Amino acid sequence: MFKRFRSLFRVLTRRREFEDGMSEELRFHIEQYTDDLVRSGMSREKAARHARIEFGSLDSVKGDCREERGLHLFDEFYRELSYAARLLRKTPGFTATALLTLAVCLGANLTIFAVIDSVLLRPLPFPEPDRLMTIFNTYPKAGVERDGSSLTNYYERRGHLPAFTSLSIYRYGTEIVGEPGSTEREQTMRVSPDFFSTLGLGPAIGRTFTEEETTSETDHVAILSDTFWRQRYNADPHVIGRQVRVNAVPRTVIGVLPPAFRFLSSDARLFLPLASRPEDRTPLQRHSGGNVIQMIARLKPGATLAQAQSQLDAQNATLEADDPQAKMIADAGFRSIVVSLHADHVAAIRPTLLLLQAGAIALLLIGAVNLVNLLLVRASGRVKELAVRQALGASRGYVVSEVVVETTLLTFVGGLLGLAVGAGGIHLLRVLGADRLPLGSRIVFDARLALVALVAAIIMGIVFAVPIAWFNLRRHLGNALQSESRGGTSGHGAQILRHSFIVSQIALAFMLLAGAGLLGLSLQRVMAVSPGFQSDHILAGHILLPWATYPDGTSRLTFVERLMDKIGHLPGVLSAGVVNNVPFSGNSGKSASTVMGHVLRPGESPRGNYSYGVAGDYFRAMGFSLKAGRFLTAADSHRSGRVCVVDEDFARFYWPNGSAIGQRLWEGSEVGKDAEAFTVVGVVGGVKQAGLTEDEAQGAIYYPYVFRISDSVFVAVRTSLPPESLGLALQKVVRQIDPDIPVNDLRSMETRIADSLVARRSPALLAGLFSGIALLLTAIGTYGVLSYAVAQRRREIGVRMALGAQPGQIRSQFFSLSLRLLAGGTLLGVLGTLLAGRAMQAVLFHVPALNLAILAGAAGVTGVVCLAACLLPSQRAARISPMEALTEE
Amino acid sequence: MGKAAELLPGTLDMLILKTVSLKPLHGYGVLVRIRQISKDALEIPQGSLYPALYRLEHHDLIAGEWGQSENNRRAKYYTLTAAGRRRLRDETAGWNRLATAIAAAMNTTSEEV
């Protein structure tokens, strides 16, 4: 078998040689025979004639020889291909429309599929990635849906849950890396020693961290990412043992990761041990996660997620039994949840992506219906030609294969163009910020996708051929010859088919338009939400104070106060402040607080709220509105009396009827000493920390910075200038105070808010684009089918007009046909939109599935576009001259 | 050509294999040789010779190679391949069995029944 293929392949690749050889061989035969005949006494002329006659037709022998080599199929295919290409070239309008439709529809699908493939489908780059799980704590009744895991969780769980082979923790971070004067901020990860073994992918050079390296006295080691190693160490193979300065402290390089190592969407280039003190690992700290430390685990072969979950539940129950806070924790609805790492990481974006793919598929359906309709119209125009050819002996197989070759040629070329559109689409997505999606940096346009697209294009071609071939074969020869020559109307079945195609097309376009409208409305409603402060003219940047030079609160406060003083003297600065966590920073961990005098009702759990430490004139810089009392001032950090400011959400919850001013509260979930209580001195507007769509207002407490010292701070500056223009000056000021410290993540607050909407804006934009294309395609389809109907019925119209019908009657007849089609399509579209709207609830913000304005708008736009598309053909029908229509043929 | 016998279906391939097995031959040579060894009893229709040669070559039973003919012309010579030799052996045995059986059947007299 294989040899036969090889022989065929050899012949196909050297077709010329084969043909020449065959001709020469046959010529040789005839000449030899002629010579023999001459030798036996015949005249040369007669001999040559005789030899040729006896040999038979040279061409038919050649044909038989080719057939023996399996070549005839290829010859036939080639012939049909060039015939199809010739036909398509002859109708450039149709061909261009079809190719453009295919290119846009396939390109749109390819673009979205590229995202789905890289975000949802492609497994994480670790061995047996489907066994990787993540575990997080949740306290739903306290308003804390997700709280990561605590160090205590890690030390209590590892080795004690038989469903897991290994379990580890990590936290993202940023550190200042490099020699003094040339420091840079790097993304880092702090990980437990078993992190790499849990993932199943460890350093390419060197070793991983050991258990001994998990205390802050012994953790002076680091593992480098491949890019860091190449850029900073020139890919030095002897890098192990060299020093890397992290936060002004030298660490020893002990390993280099392989190039393919990438944990989820992290850009970490440096990996450090997640060090902790023994007191951080005690049961008292079990619920102190704060969504900072995350846990991953690898399922044992054969173990299921359900087993793991029940083991985890059982362990939690045992451990909580002797927890002094057990009741409160239970009241908060505490649970630890195991989910697939990959699924969890992309959970937020999944519904949006699926929705977009559904939209792209709807677009493809519209395009496909359009094409089939146009092809049917084309086939109707060639009925006579086909009938003649069938009468002359063209086999059914031949008729079918001709159609398949033509449609497949069309879709294949359309697919090639679609690849270009898809590549452009992926580029567009990058511009729209797709690489900020989870796993978004994996989005690539590769040979695999191109192959999928081309195979899909070929399959589409074959599917398209089915109705056309059916149409071509269904007609009885005589009928076709006659019905056309009489100028009769087309078959009823084909007409119904075409009309139902139009109806479904209108319905799909309607759904896409209404869907885009819902997304747009949702986006508009999100953008109308106030972030809780005046977001214009604010520049905010992130500063990390290295532990080595700023070990305590005093040194940090000194730095912050010097910074405030210097920034205050910059030209164009109206006010400036410092906060440990600026809104929209991406960090939205909550902590507990206890209000003096607030008695928890049975079953009520302490609520988590945002806690901030602020310095300088933070509230004025951010433009918070003061509802009662006063803002915090710089002096509050130096006063002995503890004061704080709460936001209106917090005040409304705890003191719905009275004033918040003068009330007292403690940090943490327990009632503390009287001297440690903070007195509320002001109430400010509520803030959206996690994003504009944050619905549950959990409240916020602002403490003076000195009571909530952190090494990571944001500086916020309100300016009369364009905010971004202040960036360099701000960096200079910080370097003046400490040349080791860079300012990173410098963005205006408006940019931060806009960036937080990327997962909403891009889908709305794409859906709008899709529905625009869908409308255009529907218009083309409606126009094409109606024009055809008019052309088909020229003679009938001519007769009627000759008998006295008015042009207006003819026009309204076609118009009412289009109105009926439109009504059907709209009705189906409304039903579809209701279903789609319900399915879309996950990605919509405060927009119900049934929105009359959207439905009316979509109906209006589809109606206008479709009727406009019908206008021209109806006019043409009304202008038919009876004389011409009856005499032509 | 009235005296030439009709070729039985399927026997052309066998005859080609046999002639080519004796000595490398070009297409015309095969024709002449079959006529020779059958003493003009077998006449091969010229039109079906070449398709048969191409079929056998496609199935790798014979191999064609360009060479010089006796009168110094370029001609394609066919030789038997290893697979062709096996096939020829099988077909010869099969043919002999068939011929013997048919001959026996044809020579039967009424007493033997």
Does the pLDDT at position A3 exceed 70?
A: no
Phi-psi region of A572 (alpha: psi -120 to 50; beta: other; left: phi over 0): left
H or E segment to which residue A719 belongs: strand A712-719
Phi then psi dihedrals of residue A613, to 5 deg:
-110, 125
Give one word for A255, left, alpha or beta, with left for phi > 0 and alpha for psi -120 to 50.
Answer: beta
3-state SS assignment for residue A403: helix
Which structure tokens are listed for A842? 């996950």
| B75, B69 Cβ separation under 8 angstroms | yes
Report yes or no: A217 and A299 within 8 Å, Cβ to Cβ. Answer: no
| pLDDT in the model for residue A136 | 95
Query: Which 3 state secondary structure label does DSSP give A86?
Result: helix
What is the spatial distance between Cα B27 and Cα B44, in angstroms, rounded to a whole number?
Answer: 12
DSSP helix/strand/coil, A225: coil
Percent above pLDDT 90 for chain A: 40
Q: What's the whole-number average pLDDT of chain A? A: 87
Beta B62-68 vs B74-80: how paired, if at all? antiparallel
Nearest to A28 among B28, B31, B54 (CB): B28
What are A128's two structure tokens? 């047996």
The verdict on a CB contact (< 8 Å) between A4 and B60 is: yes
Helix (H, G, I), strand (E, B) or coil at B59: coil
Residue of A nearest to B68 (CA): A28
Task: Dump pLDDT digits (tens) for A572-604.
Answer: 899 999 999 899 887 777 888 888 888 877 767
A60 contacts in chain B (CB < 8 Å): 47
Are A65 and B75 inside 8 Å of each other by CB?
no
Q: Does the distance separating the beta carbons of A28 and B60 come in below 8 Å?
A: no
| CB pair distance less than 8 Å for A68 and B48 | no
Look at the alpha carbons of A526, A529, A531, A534 in this order and tell me if their dihedral is positive or negative.
positive
Region A527-544: what's the mean pLDDT? 89
Is the pLDDT confidence value at B48 over 90? no
User: Which among A448, A452, A406 is positioned nearest to A109, based on CA atoms?
Assistant: A452
Q: What pLDDT score does A378 carry?
A: 83
**What mean pLDDT is predicted for residues A165-175?**
92
C-beta atoms surrounding B97 within 10 Å: 10
How far away is chain A from the Cα of B56, in angstroms, using its nearest Cα? Answer: 9
Using a CB-CB cut-off of 8 Å, the residues of chain B touching A64 are 47-48, 50-51
Q: Smallest Cβ distance to A69: which of B46, B54, B60?
A: B54
DSSP state of A121: I
For residue A289, what are its two tokens?
A: 């996660």
More confident residue, A174 or A363: A363
Is it the case that residue A477 has pLDDT exceeding 60?
A: no
**CA distances in angstroms from A516 to A360, A774, A782, listed in the order given:** 12, 12, 22
Task: Give the model confidence (pLDDT) of A654-673 as tens digits.
Answer: 998 889 999 999 988 778 88
Q: Give the pLDDT score at A73.
A: 75
Q: What is the pLDDT of residue A486?
A: 43
Chain A residue whose CA is closest to B28: A29
What is the reported pLDDT for A310? 95
Measured in angstroms, the CA of A71 and the nearest CA of chain B are apart by 11
Do B48 and A21 lie within an 8 Å CB cutoff? no
**Architecture of domain B11-106 in this structure:** Orthogonal Bundle (1.10)
- Helix (DSSP H) and strand (DSSP E) numbers for chain A: 28, 21
Mean pLDDT within A399-410: 90
Q: Do the Cβ atoms of A364 and A775 come closer than 8 Å?
A: no
Taking a C-beta distance cutoff of 8 angstroms, is the pair A255, A206 a contact?
Answer: yes
* Structure-derived torsion over alpha carbons of residues A30, A34, A36, A38, reported in degrees to the nearest 10: 180
Q: Do A28 and B26 touch (CB under 8 A)?
A: yes
Q: Does the pLDDT at position A166 exceed 90?
A: yes
Q: Do B50 and A25 touch (CB under 8 A)?
A: yes
**Sign of the C-alpha dihedral computed for residues A760, A762, A765 and A768 taken in this order:** negative
Distance CA(A394)–CA(A408), nearest Å, equals 20
CA closest to B65 among chain A residues: A21
Closest chain A residue to the Cα of B55, Cα to Cα: A68
pLDDT bin (cut points 50, 70, 90) of residue A149 is very high
User: Cβ contact (<8 Å) for A65 and B59?
Assistant: no
Are A28 and B69 an interchain contact pair (Cβ–Cβ within 8 Å)? yes
Which residues of chain B make contact with A69, given a CB cutoff of 8 A?
A: 54, 58
Higher-scoring residue by pLDDT: A639, A556: A556
Which of A538, A540, A555 minimizes the C-alpha distance to A711? A555
Determine the residue type at A94: F
Q: How far apart are CA A399 and CA A386, in angstroms?
A: 8
Compute the residue count for chain B: 113
Confidence of residue A200 (pLDDT cuts 50, 70, 90): very high
Residue whose C-alpha is closest to residue A405's, from A84, A76, A74, A72: A84
Q: In chain A, which residues have their Cβ closer than 8 Å to the Cβ of B55?
A: 68
State the amino acid at position A853 in one-letter form: A
What band does A489 get if pLDDT is binned at 50, 70 and 90? very low
Assess B51–A contact: CB distance below 8 Å, yes or no. yes
- Concatenating the DSSP letter of every residue in A760-794 gives HHHHHHHHHHHHHHHHHHHHHHHHHHHHHHHHHTH
Cβ–Cβ gap B74/A60 under 8 Å: no
Token representation of residue A672: 């503390």
Q: Which two tokens stand for residue A509?
A: 């376009």
The answer to whether the Cβ–Cβ distance between A29 and B28 falls below 8 Å is: yes
- Is residue A535 a contact partner of residue A392, using CB atoms and an 8 Å limit? no
Give the Cα separation of A197 and A211 in Å (integer): 13
Cβ count near A705 (within 10 Å):
28
CB contact under 8 A, A68 and B58: yes
What are the residues facing A247 on neighbouring strands? none
A428-450 per-position pLDDT tens digit: 888 887 877 888 888 888 898 99
Chain B residues in contact with A4 by the CB 8 A cut-off are 58-60
Banded pLDDT at B1 (limits 50, 70, 90): very low
Q: What is the 3-state secondary structure (H, E, C) of A172-199?
A: EEEEEECCCCCCEEEEEEEECCCHHHHH
Task: Tell me the nearest-neighbour CA distance from B4 into chain A, angstroms.
Answer: 15
Question: What pLDDT does A476 receive?
Answer: 52
Work out the pLDDT band at A482, boundaries 50, 70, 90: low
Are the Cβ atoms of B28 and A55 closer than 8 angstroms? no
Nearest CA in chain B to A1: B59
Chains A & B: contacts with CB separation below 8 Å = 68
Place A463 in a pLDDT band, splitting at 50, 70 and 90.
very high
What's the token pair of residue A86? 């010739």
Tell me the backbone φ, ψ of residue A225, rounded to 5 degrees. Answer: -80, 165
Residues of A within 8 A of B74 (CB-CB) are 24, 28
At A29-82, the pLDDT tens digits run 888 888 888 988 888 889 888 888 888 888 888 888 888 877 777 777 888 888
A545 touches A556 (CB < 8 A):
yes
Tell me, what amino acid is at A653? F
| A56/B46 touch (CB, cutoff 8 Å), yes or no | yes
Contacts of A32 in chain B (CB under 8 A): 28, 69
Q: Cα(A226)–Cα(A219) distance, rounded to whole angstroms? A: 21
Give the domain ranges of chain A: 2-70, 73-125+349-486, 145-331, 505-529+750-889, 546-740
Question: What residues contact residue A107 under an 8 Å CB cut-off, 6+ apart?
Answer: A417, A418, A419, A420, A421, A422, A424, A425
